[in-house]
């Protein structure tokens, strides 16, 4: 019986030892592996942590942008198409009515958008001397002061530059028109006018002189050449006598028959005259009328006999300038330029696009 009890006791001890050894092995096997924590990170054997593959990426506060969302639609901005230059388009119009009375040449030029040309900077043939103002809705020029404080010379003020006029020149034919009223002048040759195709070294000019005659000419390489021809179709602007089928501008507009010699300086003083110049390929026509006349009268036309014939082919570019033709006072109004050779458009709003 005691032997039996020893055997049972020995078996129980052995079982206890086996069980103890098994539990100890299980502890050793977990010591070298990483353990999982509640935060979702594992712990290495050396105590460092490693991220779990299932851990979410932290929110950085920025939106996730897809490729579709990053696509930007390219917007191309284009100017509206420039209208085609056709006959009857208003290129320029100025009636001086929107400024009120104004004194001071610089202030007037700034208001009008004109620029006085100088011989030093702009290669003008001469420098400006006149005083300019706006009175009663007209441009006033004083270049022959009563006190003789200065001696008026030719002067040029740029109105429209070459780039602006390029489309008009390419179109081929255009009309220039303006009103002029002369005051006191130093002599019969003085005038106010508007010249075209101007670049300082050359320009086209119709100068209607206060003495009752004119010149349809081109200033070219330092010399004057004439477009019309004497004794041809009574369309020679410089005609100074009336008779034998020929007549002066003074006769055509005022009915005056006397000779327009250079001693008469006041034939057209205080008379408002409208001047119309039509320019085109091999064409330079000049028409004029007074306020009392219902229709224009042609006073000059380009002629093959004129020594300027053919020079117009070299005059296809250039600016438009207002010119003071020496010592004279006067008013200018209603300056207009339009394409073609028809009458001035009823709507004077500028619709030409340079």
Rounded alpha-carbon distances, angstroms, from residue 201 to 174, 219, 226, 284, 308: 22, 8, 16, 20, 16
Average pLDDT, the chain: 84
pLDDT recorded at residue 43: 42
DSSP single-letter state for residue 246 = B
Which of 173, 164, 170, 165 minimizes the C-alpha distance to 88?
Answer: 173
pLDDT recorded at residue 55: 44
What's the chain's length in residues?
A: 354
pLDDT recorded at residue 71: 52
Cβ atoms of 344 and 336 closer than 8 Å = yes
pLDDT recorded at residue 73: 52
Q: Could you give the CA distance from residue 52 to residue 40 in angstroms, rounded to a whole number?
A: 6
Which of 269, 267, 298, 301 minimizes the C-alpha distance to 284?
Answer: 301
For residue range 70-100, list pLDDT tens digits in order. Answer: 455 556 667 778 889 999 999 999 999 999 9
Which residues lie across from 288 on neighbouring strands? 275, 297
Q: Starting from the edge strand earliest in sequence, which strands make up the sheet with 42-43, in order?
A: 35-36, 42-43, 49-50
Q: Which residue has the higher pLDDT, 283 or 36?
A: 283
DSSP string, 47-101: S-EE--TTPPPPP-S-----TTTT--------PPPPPPP-TT-EEEEE-S-SS-S
For residue range 127-181, list pLDDT tens digits in order. Answer: 999 999 999 999 999 999 999 999 999 999 999 999 999 999 999 999 999 999 9
Structural domains in the chain plus CATH codes: 157-339 (2.60.120)
């Amino acid at each position: 019986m005691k032997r039996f009890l020893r055997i049972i006791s020995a078996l129980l001890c052995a079982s206890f030892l086996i069980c103890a050894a098994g539990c100890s092995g299980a502890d050793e096997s977990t010591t070298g592996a990483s353990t999982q924590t509640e935060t979702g990170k594992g712990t290495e054997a050396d105590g460092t942590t490693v991220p779990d593959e299932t851990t979410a990426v932290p929110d950085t506060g920025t939106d996730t942008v897809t490729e579709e969302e990053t696509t930007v639609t390219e917007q191309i901005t284009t100017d509206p198409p420039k209208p085609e230059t056709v006959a009857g388009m208003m290129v320029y119009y100025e009636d001086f009515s929107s400024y009120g009375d104004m004194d001071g040449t610089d202030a007037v030029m700034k208001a009008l958008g004109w620029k006085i040309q100088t011989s030093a900077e702009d290669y003008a043939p001469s420098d400006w001397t006149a005083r300019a103002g706006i009175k009663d809705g007209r441009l006033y020029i004083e270049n022959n002061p009563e006190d003789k404080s200065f001696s008026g010379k030719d002067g040029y003020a740029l109105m429209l530059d070459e780039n602006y006029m390029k489309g008009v020149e390419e179109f081929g034919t255009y009309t220039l028109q303006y009103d002029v009223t002369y005051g006191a002048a130093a002599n019969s040759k003085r005038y106010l006018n508007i010249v075209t195709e101007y670049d300082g070294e050359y320009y086209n000019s119709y100068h209607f002189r206060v003495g009752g005659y004119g010149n349809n000419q081109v200033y070219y390489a330092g010399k004057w050449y004439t477009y019309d021809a004497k004794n041809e179709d009574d369309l020679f602007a410089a005609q100074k006598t009336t008779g034998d089928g020929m007549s002066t501008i003074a006769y055509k507009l005022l009915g005056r028959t006397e000779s327009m010699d250079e001693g008469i300086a006041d034939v057209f003083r205080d008379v408002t005259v409208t001047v119309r110049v039509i320019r085109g390929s091999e064409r330079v026509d000049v028409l004029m009328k007074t306020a009392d006349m219902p229709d224009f009268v042609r006073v000059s036309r380009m002629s093959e006999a004129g020594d300027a014939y053919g020079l117009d082919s070299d005059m296809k570019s250039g600016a438009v300038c207002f010119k003071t033709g020496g010592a004279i006072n006067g008013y200018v109004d209603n300056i207009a330029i339009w394409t073609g050779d028809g009458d001035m458009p009823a709507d004077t709003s500028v619709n030409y696009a340079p």
